[in-house]
């Protein structure tokens, strides 16, 4: 068990990438200090700890910085391997599959979802929404294949417990709900994505998640404030 002073997490509450690190630390029951970054300007600690990207999250363990959310998740799993359940699958093929879909979430799904708010015109907005819907359909299919191996019917991508892909994808749930509300659409659907709907409920209520998952209404307010600031600077 690490001492709180040994582990610090530099981040901001609305960030889905910071949320990944918090969930991983919670799974392993690691005591840590959360240092809120306000970016006005970026703190000296952030610039020193991540001089390449100057972005959150940054995990500082025994004064050594670890950057990039999914790298942090893997680091937490490796360092505290005997504390709590494993985050990454033990089987090499299953690990590769989890990493593949986590990369898909970051490279394809999240950018499309994020772009909806800034879409130039209704046609582009509809195209991006369709792109997100298609991505969720792919993840629904992946979820069904991963969770129904043999005679099993698991709750999570990680099996009985949330794992690497659950964290990678689940961290976006709050912003997915914001996207739905802001655009009057239903991206998670009991007909089209029943597996993901049930998974999202189980994930959000998990002990490692529920206390750190941002409330949708808070994210909505944050998004409105952000859009107002962007409108004034353009």
Which backbone phi and psi does 66 adopt, to 5 degrees? -125, 130
pLDDT for res 228: 78
Same domain, 183 and 134: yes
Spans of the chain below 70 pLDDT: 1-4, 230-234
pLDDT for res 222: 94
Provide the 3-class DSSP secondary structure of residue 160.
coil
Same domain, 42 and 132: no
In a domain, residue 53? The reply is yes
pLDDT for res 182: 93
Residue at which a domain ends, from 24, 53, 79: 79
Domain residue limits at 46: 4-79
Same domain, 215 and 103: yes
Neighbours of 72 (CB within 10 A): 24
Token pair 């998740």: residue: 73
pLDDT for res 79: 97
Pairing of strands 58-61, 64-67: antiparallel
In a domain, residue 164? The reply is yes
Same domain, 166 and 209: yes
Provide the 3-class DSSP secondary structure of residue 210.
coil
pLDDT for res 149: 80
Same domain, 115 and 187: yes
DSSP, residue by residue, 32-100: -EEEE---TT--HHHHHH-TTT--S-EEEETTEEEESHHHHHHHHHHHTTTSSS-SS-SSHHHHHHHHH
In a domain, residue 106? The reply is yes
Residue at which a domain ends, from 19, 48, 79: 79
pLDDT for res 231: 63
In a domain, residue 230? The reply is no
Supply the CATH number for residue 25's domain: 3.40.30.10
In a domain, residue 110? The reply is yes
pLDDT for res 2: 62
Provide the 3-class DSSP secondary structure of residue 150.
coil
Supply the CATH number for residue 194's domain: 1.20.1050.10
User: Where is 9: in which H helix or E strand?
Assistant: strand 7-11
CB crowding 165-183: b at 16 or more within 10 Å, else e = bbbbbbbbbbbbbbbbeeb
Is 155 in contact with 162 (CB distance < 8 Å)? Answer: no
């Amino acid at each position: 068990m690490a001492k709180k002073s040994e582990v610090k997490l530099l981040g901001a509450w609305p960030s889905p990438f910071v949320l990944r690190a918090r969930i991983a630390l919670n799974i392993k029951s690691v005591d840590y200090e959360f240092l809120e970054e306000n970016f006005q300007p970026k703190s000296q600690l952030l610039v020193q700890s991540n001089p390449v990207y100057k972005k959150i999250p940054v995990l500082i363990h025994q004064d050594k910085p670890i950057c990039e959310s999914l790298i942090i998740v893997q680091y937490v799993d490796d360092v505290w391997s005997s504390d709590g359940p494993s985050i990454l699958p033990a089987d090499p093929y299953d690990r590769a599959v989890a990493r593949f879909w986590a990369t898909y979430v970051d490279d394809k799904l999240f950018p499309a979802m994020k772009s909806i708010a800034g879409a130039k015109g209704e046609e582009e907005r509809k195209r991006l929404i369709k792109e997100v819907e298609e991505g969720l359909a792919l993840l629904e299919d992946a979820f069904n294949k991963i969770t129904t191996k043999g005679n099993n019917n698991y709750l999570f991508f990680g099996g009985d417990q949330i794992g690497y892909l659950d964290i990678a994808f689940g961290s976006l749930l709050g912003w997915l709900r914001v996207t739905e509300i802001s655009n009057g659409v239903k991206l998670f659907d009991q007909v089209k994505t029943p597996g993901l709907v049930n998974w999202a409920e189980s994930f959000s209520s998990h002990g490692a998640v529920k206390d750190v998952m941002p409330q949708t209404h808070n994210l909505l307010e944050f998004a409105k404030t952000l859009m107002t600031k962007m409108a004034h600077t353009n």
